[in-house]
Amino acid sequence: MSNINEIQIQQYMGADLAKKDIRKLRDIIYKNFEHIADIEELNHTAYEIFRLLISSLSIVFLAIYNRKIIGYIVAEITEIDSKRLLHIAYLYVVPTYRKNGVGTYLLNRITQSGTEYNADAISLTFDTYNKKLENFYFSNYFNYDPNFRSKQRYDMMLKKLK
């Protein structure tokens, strides 16, 4: 890949995906995050991924290159403490395509969706032991919020929209 413009982005709402056979996408997501399957509080199960993908409150962007999924972001509108959040459940870019702007582009698209859906913030939970990932989120304007911070290994960051 020589240019991010060669990547095709497909957007789906959960209602759209509910009409499709999403088993392959569910399996891809599960396998890419299989290392967190044993962490109960993260609720990484095939059933939860399926529920998330077909939720009427979900937004999914797929990054396609040469007819293959090279990245995706899956988020769901939720309310926590009277705040409307667009919570990113999954963000993934195939390792060989990282550092090409794909992840940042997907985050920008989901941020745009958050604004369109009148969300107060974009939220995500991530592994705080992964300092590269933490710095990536910092560089994309995510920060720890004292109202949501758990100070546990898997913690929440927010990108305020309002």
- In the chain, what are the domain boundaries? 4-123
Which among 79, 105, 106, 78 is positioned nearest to 90, based on CA atoms? 106
Residue 21 clears pLDDT 90, i.e. is over it: yes
| pLDDT for residue 83 | 87
| pLDDT for residue 150 | 80
Parallel, antiparallel or unpaired: strands 154-160 and 121-127: antiparallel
What lies within 8 Å, CB to CB, of 22 at 6+ separation is 50, 53, 54
Average pLDDT over residues 113-130: 94
| pLDDT for residue 35 | 80
Class of domain 4-123: alpha beta
DSSP SS3 for 52? helix
Residue 110 clears pLDDT 70, i.e. is over it: yes
Q: What pTM was computed for the model?
A: 0.89
Average pLDDT over residues 36-40: 78
